[in-house]
Amino acid sequence: MNKKLTEKFYPGHATCAGCGIPAIVRHVLDEADCPVVVINATGCLEVTSTLYPYSAWKVPYIHNAFENAAATAAGVETAYRALKKKGKIKDKMKFVVFAGDGGTFDIGLQALSGMLERGHDVLYVAYDNEGYMNTGGQRSSATPVGADMETTPAGKKSSGNKLPRKDMMEIVKSHHIKYLAQANVAYIEDLRKKARKALETEGPSFLLVLQPCTNVWKFPTSDYVKIGKLATETNYWPLYEIEDGRYILNLKIEKPKKIEEYLKTQKRFGHLLSPKNKELVKNIQENINREWEGLIERENGGIVEQ
């Protein structure tokens, strides 16, 4: 392993086999060219990287409750600016939050909104595994339609989760920050490029990173990169940036695969492949097509290509 990638986050943590969270953390932090302070909401990353008396962190690290990572980051960043103004700190520093979708889309949304609105110089990284995986696989507002989760089980009278994902990228964009991007742990170079841009941005920046969960999505541990790539190859998870309000699509799949190619790789969607759910899968595909066309239109400045 490249030694540079282990300087800030060491091996020896307890994440599941086939989990991409360590890769997200290592590659994001590897792009920092100055000292960093990590603020980490309760979740998969926290419970697996800080098993007392051990820690995988080799940087200053603050563990937070589920809901207040962004508020803590805002406070620490403000204290840093005050101390720097007084001449007690001279070095440039960066503050990086890592939180799951539960701590970002749901119970951490208020704190995140406040941090963004006030303009704190913090990079917020949401690793999105589309549910509360740390506590058994309950649905979050990042869970896609049709997913069989602990709180939205599929069965004779249910086709799984009925509610659409919250559009977190548009919610964050509405705070008028300079840089935000959607990335995927299966596309490391794209993730690194976006992390570098985010860390170079003055003020708040945001990365939403897809993190396939082998444990709850139910696929072989060796397949997380394959699953991640399928999410993008079907246009379910497009790779794009919003820089100063301008949309930039990073990868345009010439012939996108049908969403069934993605669904059939995961047991959480196994029930959708039965004939009775054919119409639901059709609706999922239509929504993906519509959202992709919306991104193309926004990239073109509102002009629809004929």
* pLDDT above 70: residue 37: yes
Per-residue pLDDT of 137-165, as tens digits, reads: 999 999 999 999 999 999 999 999 999 99
* pLDDT above 50: residue 195: yes
* pLDDT above 80: residue 190: yes
Q: What was the pLDDT predicted at 302?
A: 61
In contact, 242 and 169? CB cutoff 8 Å: yes
CA distance 266 to 219: 5
Q: What was the pLDDT predicted at 12?
A: 82
Percent of the chain with pLDDT over 70: 96
Q: What was the pLDDT predicted at 306?
A: 38
> φ, ψ for residue 262 (rounded to 5)?
-80, -45
CA distance 221 to 18: 4
* pLDDT above 80: residue 303: no
Mean pLDDT of 189-212: 98
Mean pLDDT of 177-191: 98
* pLDDT above 60: residue 182: yes
- The confidence band for 10, taking pLDDT boundaries of 50, 70 and 90, is confident
CA distance 140 to 179: 25
Helix, strand, coil distribution of the chain in percent, nearest 5: 40, 20, 40
Q: What was the pLDDT predicted at 304?
A: 46
In eight-state DSSP terms, residue 258 is P
Distances 303 to 101, 293, 300 between C-alpha atoms, Å = 32, 11, 5
Q: What was the pLDDT predicted at 301?
A: 86
In contact, 233 and 241? CB cutoff 8 Å: no
* pLDDT above 60: residue 179: yes
Q: Which long-range contacts (CB under 8 A, 24 or more apart) does 14-17 make?
A: 14/47, 14/48, 14/49, 14/51, 15/44, 15/45, 15/48, 15/49, 16/48, 16/213, 16/214, 16/215, 16/221, 17/214, 17/221
In contact, 100 and 46? CB cutoff 8 Å: no
- b/e string for 177-198 if b means 16 or more Cβ within 10 A? bbbbbbbbbbbbebbebbbebb
Q: What was the pLDDT predicted at 5?
A: 46
Mean pLDDT of 39-45: 96
Decide: helix, strand or coil at residue 207. Answer: strand
Per-residue pLDDT of 78-130, as tens digits, reads: 999 999 999 999 999 999 999 999 999 999 999 999 999 999 999 999 999 99
In contact, 62 and 80? CB cutoff 8 Å: no
Residues sharing a CB contact under 8 Å with residue 116, sequence separation 6 or more, in sequence order: 70, 124, 172, 175, 177, 204, 206
Per-residue pLDDT of 61-77, as tens digits, reads: 999 999 999 999 999 99
Q: What was the pLDDT predicted at 237?
A: 98
Distances 206 to 77, 99, 168, 243 between C-alpha atoms, Å = 16, 11, 10, 11
Domains by residue range for the chain, with CATH: 3-299 (3.40.50.970)
Mean pLDDT of 6-10: 79
Mean pLDDT of 129-134: 96
* pLDDT above 50: residue 57: yes
Q: What was the pLDDT predicted at 149?
A: 97
How high is the mean pLDDT of the chain? 94
- b/e string for 61-95 if b means 16 or more Cβ within 10 A? bbbbebbbbbbbbbebbeebeeeeeeeeeeeebbb
Dig out the tokens for 191 from the structure: 């993730």
* pLDDT above 50: residue 298: yes
Q: Find tokens 């086999």 and name the residue.
A: 17
CA distance 238 to 252: 8
Per-residue pLDDT of 244-258, as tens digits, reads: 999 999 999 999 999
Mean pLDDT of 232-243: 98
Mean pLDDT of 172-177: 98
The amino acid sitting at 3 is: K
Percent of the chain with pLDDT over 90: 93
Distances 183 to 38, 119, 189, 231, 269 between C-alpha atoms, Å = 20, 22, 10, 11, 22
